[in-house]
Amino acid sequence: MAGTTTRPALRPSAGAPYARLLGLGAYRPSRVVPNSEVVLGIDSTDEWIRQRSGIEERRWATDDETLRMMSVAAARRALEDSGVDARQIDCVVVATVSHFMQTPALATLVAHDLGTDQAAAFDVSAACAGFCHGVAMASDMVRGGSARHVLVIGAERLSEQTDPHDRGTAFIFADGAGAVVVGPGDEPGIGPVVWGSDGEQYDLIRSREDWRDVLTSESPRMPHLVMQGNAVFRWASFQMAKTGLQALDRAGIGVDDLDCFVPHQANNRITDAMARAMKLPDSVAIARDIVHQGNTSAASIPLALDRMREEGQARSGDTALLIAFGAGLAYAAQVVVLP
C-alpha cells in the first residue's frame, strides 16, 4: 500500500534458557543475646519464649555492624562461593526494611563497595518476603537477558526497630544478612514463583508510627514494629501451606521429591503447622535457624540455608522449597536447587 512504512523489528533479548543459584553467603552479628537478657524488659520467662516461638537466643548487631557492612560481608562470601567476580555482577538487589535513608538505595552503596562494574542496583521493600521476591526477579532477569549474574541480598537490623518493652515483639526480631548469586544454568534451578499480598490485613504487622508523626512528636524516637501475633499465626500456618503446595505444583514436583523445607524463620510453631498441613515426609530436612538467630525478616531464608549447609542438613544439588511471608501481608514461594 502506497505510503506504508515498515517498522524495524526489535532484536529479542538474548537470555539464558534457565537460571540457578550459583553461590550462597551469610553474615551473623557477633553479639549473642539470650532470652534471659530479653525478659528483663518484659513480663515473660525464658520458658515462655521457647514455647511460644522456639527461640533460645538471637543475634543483634553492634554499632560497627551496620546494615551496609553486613550486606557487603554476606555478598563477598556468596561471590567467593559462586566463583563469580564482582565485576561480573550486572545487578544488585537488596531486600530490607532497615535502611533508613530514603534515597539512595542501599544496593547502590553495596554495589560500589564490592567493586562491581556499574551494576544496576535497587532495594526491595517486601518485608520478610523480600528475599524470595529478589530471587524471583533475578531469575527473570537472567532468563530475560537483562542481566547474566544478579546478586540478591537479604539484610536487616531489626533490633533498632524493636520495642524492648513490647511483650509481643521484644523477643522475636534480630539482625543479620544473607546473599545468593543467581546466574545461568544448563537446566531449571529456580522454579516459578507463587507470590502475592493481602493489603486488607496490613495492620497485622507494621511500623507503629508514621515517620511524619515521629518527627513532629515532643520526643522523637525510632518507629517500632508491632504485630498481632495470634492473627499472623493463624494466617501464616494455613495460607502459606497452600502457597507452598502451589509452588511445588508449578515446579512440577511433589513433597516426596523435596530434600529441604526452608520457610521464613518467624516462629517454630508456624513452621510445624505448615509442615503438617503440607504433609511433608520425615525425609525432608526442615530449617530451624530461628532457635539461635531469631527472626531476621528478609535475611532469614539465606541465613537458614547457610546454617543447614554448615550442619550438613543440605547439600549441593538438593531441592528446597522456600516460603516467605510478612508485613503487607506479602508472601512468596519458589522451589530452588541449592548451589
pLDDT digits (tens, 9 = 90+) for 101-157: 889 999 999 999 999 989 999 999 999 999 999 999 999 999 999 999 999 999 999
pLDDT at site 207: 85
**pTM of the entire predicted model:** 0.95
pLDDT in tens, 183-220: 999 999 999 999 999 999 989 988 888 878 878 877 77
User: How far is the C-alpha of 324 from the C-alpha of 332, rounded, in Å?
Assistant: 5
Asked if the bond preceding 104 is cis, omega within 30° of 0, the reply is: yes
Task: Output the average pLDDT for the chain.
Answer: 95
**Would residue 149 show up in a list of annotated catalytic residues for this protein?**
no
Residue % of the chain over a pLDDT of 90:
85
How many angstroms separate the first and last alpha carbons of the chain?
A: 56
Which pLDDT band, with edges at 50, 70 and 90, does 54 fall under? very high
- Higher confidence at residue 238 or residue 58? 58
| Cell of residue 63, nine digits | 554499632
User: How far is the C-alpha of 222 from the C-alpha of 215, rounded, in Å?
Assistant: 10
Which conformational region is residue 297 in: left (phi greater than 0), alpha (psi within -120 to 50 degrees), or beta?
left
Residue 138's closest CA among 156, 117, 153, 155?
Answer: 153
Active-site pick, 128, 133, 224, 268: 128
**Would residue 264 show up in a list of annotated catalytic residues for this protein?**
yes
With contact defined as beta carbons under 8 Å apart, do 80 and 139 qualify?
Answer: no
Question: Given a cut of 70, is residue 252 above it in pLDDT?
Answer: yes
Which pLDDT band, with edges at 50, 70 and 90, does 4 fall under? low
Active-site pick, 35, 267, 268, 295: 295
**The sheet that has 18-27: what strands, in order across it?**
18-27, 175-185, 150-157, 91-95, 120-124
| Side-chain half-sphere CA neighbours of 298 within 13 A | 31
Cα-trace Rg, the chain? 20
User: How far is the C-alpha of 268 from the C-alpha of 280, rounded, in Å?
Assistant: 15
Question: Given a cut of 80, is residue 229 above it in pLDDT?
Answer: yes
**Would residue 295 show up in a list of annotated catalytic residues for this protein?**
yes
* Cα-based torsion angle of the residue sequence 80, 84, 85, 90 in order, rounded to the nearest 10 degrees: -130
With contact defined as beta carbons under 8 Å apart, do 72 and 64 qualify?
Answer: no
Active-site pick, 99, 133, 224, 264: 264
